[in-house]
Structure 1
Amino acid sequence: MASNTAADDNEVAHEFGLVRVYKSGRVVRPFVAPPAAPGLDPATGVDSRDVHLGDYSARLYLPTSAATAAAKLPVIVYVHGGGFVAESVASPNGHRFLNSLAAACPALAVSVEYRLAPEHPLPAAYDDCVAALRWVLSGADPWVAAHGDLGRVFVAGDSAGANACHHLAIQPDAARLKGAVLIHPWFWGSEAVGEETRHPLARAMGGRLWMFACPGSTGVDDPRMNPLAPGAPGLETLACERVMVCTAEGDHLRWRGRAYAEAVTAARGGDGQGVELLETDGEGHVFHLVKPDCDKAKEMFDRIVAFVTAP
């Protein structure tokens, strides 16, 4: 029995790059960087702290200038990516991005630390994000109460986090949001859109991680993975005034992001009002997190800041 247990602990049952699961049940996330601690960031003048809220937690970011600001700040509820199986609010690239975003707007940012699959299969992450948004809107946190303008609440996220932002905005009881920023959203579907691969095996591979994270799903045309699927909630019900979608030329998900932006535009009458699509040439998935100082990352960053600060 002991030898079998040892073998199971070294034999891989599931491998997705972001997460590896052994037959023993041991879970390893090979690319997890050392966590970034909260606290004052001297480069941006933004302070951050973690708040534990039961099943989930949140990291709040507040520019120190907010203490003397005449007006309250917009609030950005941010959901990190990682396929719902990896990353956290302490991931250094995301932590740096939110320090910079909170300073540049300026804004009060709330990054959601949701539960990860496979230990906590979906919909756990969705549930945590909904609970976090409701917590922010309640004004229960002293930073939010003192400095946040709850009439200007945005949801934003990258990859799986952008998928979760759609889920937040489509909730039947969702409060009216000022806007949603979906960066390289992780959507998929059984039928190809745009110039996506038509190869059946490649399309099936595109859904493997989704089915692993959400084993109770009906497949890649589950409305949570494919908002354009037949029977998905109508996009005219998105609970936000404005929507920004970012795509990247080297990202295989770019056609899905473009199709989403076009569908939201059509649902709003087809004139493009309140919908912004930013397509970046020559870059790949979440390039802005790994190359924040490149010109195209700076351009995307500036466009997001302008979207948040627009009247």
Structure 2
Amino acid sequence: METEELLHDLPPLFRQYKSGRVERLAGAAATPAPFDPATGVTSKLAVVDPATPVFACLYLPPNPPPATSPPAAKLPLLVYFHGGGFCIESAFSDTYHPHLTALAARARLLVVSVDYRLAPEHPLPAAYDDCWAAVQWAASSGDPWIADHADSGRIFVAGDSAGGNIAHRVAMWAGVAGLLLDGMAAVHPYFWGSQAVGEEGREEGWRAWMDDLWRAVSGGRKGLDDAWINPAAEREVAARLGCRRALVCVAEEDPMRERGRAYYEMLKGSRWAGEVELVETKGEGHVFHLERDASGEKAEQLTAKLVEFFAGDRK
């Protein structure tokens, strides 16, 4: 039997063969239960764009405000972008379902978790385009749950890892489009660049792996210092960020921690008129709060900080 020739070999994420076949090694999709008895949160599938197609999983907390409520009494919207290096996971995976159920219940949010197209079959900007389309769809009350129970004038965007990268990109596009988001949360964001930042690079082999991953997910069309992967490249236009507040979360043992810190400093030092806060978790690694056994004190503290950010400023 003839062996297929590899194009990209990037465990633990995926392998891509020159034949075009992609073998994903983690983050398989799942079908979440439509009702969570522990929190009372109900979830469902929604179609954002049937032409692409783009889907989303919606999470509605218990006892939502009735459709006749004034906008100020309705639920804020959180449009969430999952992580996975742009190439694994989904809005329906069991990695995200417990986390988003908890956020919907505790922060009293209607959550729209976007199932964007994955690289390498769909290299960037496919994920950006899909997630921006989802934000516009949510803002236009594209689903009956949103129309009845949410205030589409109060929108947050958030994501972890690649989703944190997407949250920044979508907030930049929102600023250009004149859409002012309530807030943007980037949790352990996937940013990179050709030159090391701070103490970055201590992890042997990590830089080469990260370089290869970016080439794969961008289809080889974007360099390591393009603004899509390195926000420092757009430092001069950071003032266009289309949100009132930003929360940047980093973890001490995350190899991308220096990038998150640098991103925070960039926003803080820019002419952007919003408020930015940095939260660092000591002794933990990349997206530790999403791990299956993430029930410890530090995971709870990070989730509580996100809840505070989403629920704490309802101007």
Q: TM-score, normalised by structure 1?
A: 0.91
1:224-282, Cα deviation, whole Å (9 max, x unpaired):
100102x5662111000000000001100001001101110111479xx6111000000
For 1:144 and 1:258, locate their aligned partners in 2 and report how far apart those are by CA, in whole Å: 34
Gaps of 5+ in 2: none
Mark the CA change 1:15 to 1:266 in structure 2 (over 3 Å): closer, same or farther. same
1:127 to 113, 126, 129: 129
**1:12·1:23 contact (CA, 8 Å) conserved in 2?**
yes
Deviations 1:126-185 (A, max 9, x none): 110110110000112111111111232100000000000010011111510000000000
Using the TM superposition, name which of 96-105 and 260-269 deviates more.
260-269
Which residue matches 1:226? 230
Letter of the 2:96 partner, please give it. G
Task: Structure 1 unaligned segments of length 5 or more: list them.
Answer: none
User: Is the contact between residue 28 and residue 88 of structure 2 (CA under 8 Å) also seen in structure 1?
Assistant: no
Give distance in 2, aligned partners of 1:132 and 1:207.
29
- Summarize the alignment of residues 199-218 of structure 1 with structure 2, pairs less than 5 Å apart: 203-218=207-222
Alpha carbons of 1:269 and 1:213: their partners in 2 closer, same or farther (altered >3 Å)? closer
Deviations 1:32-62 (A, max 9, x none): 3461325111111100111122221111100
Task: For 2:153 and 2:232, locate their aligned partners in 1 and report how far apart those are by CA, in whole Å.
Answer: 29
Which of 15, 21, 36 aligns to 2:16? It is 21
Structure 1: distance between partners of 2:31 and 2:296? 22
Residue number in structure 1 paired with 2:247:
244
Give the 5 Å matches for 1:45-60: 45-52=40-47, 53-54=49-50, 55=52, 56-60=54-58
Instruction: Report the alpha carbon displacement of residue 208 of structure 1 after superposing the two structures with TM.
Output: 1.2
- In the TM superposition, what whole-angstrom CA distance separates every residue of 1:267-303 from its partner, at most 9, and x where no partner exists? 1479xx6111000000000000004311001001111
Give 4+ residue runs of structure 1 displaced > 3 Å after superposition: 67-70, 198-205
In structure 2, C-alpha distance between the alignment counterparts of 1:143 and 1:253, rounded to whole Å: 37
Provide the residue aligned with 2:101 in structure 1.
99
- Give me the whole-angstrom Cα distance separating, in 1, the residues matched to 2:206 and 2:105: 41
Give the aligned CA root-mean-square deviation in angstroms: 2.1
> Is 1:260 the counterpart of 2:283 in the alignment?
no
Distance 1:22 1:149, change over 3 A: same
Counterparts of 1:60-209 in structure 2, within 5 Å, are: 60-67=58-65, 71-171=73-173, 172-197=176-201, 203-209=207-213
Percent identity of equivalent pairs = 48
| AA at the equivalent of 1:103 | A
Contact 1:168 1:174 in 2 (8 A): no
TM value normalised by structure 2: 0.90
Contact 1:227–1:233 under 8 Å retained in 2: no
Amino acid at match of 2:62: T
- For the 8 Å contact 2:103–2:307, the answer to whether it is kept is yes
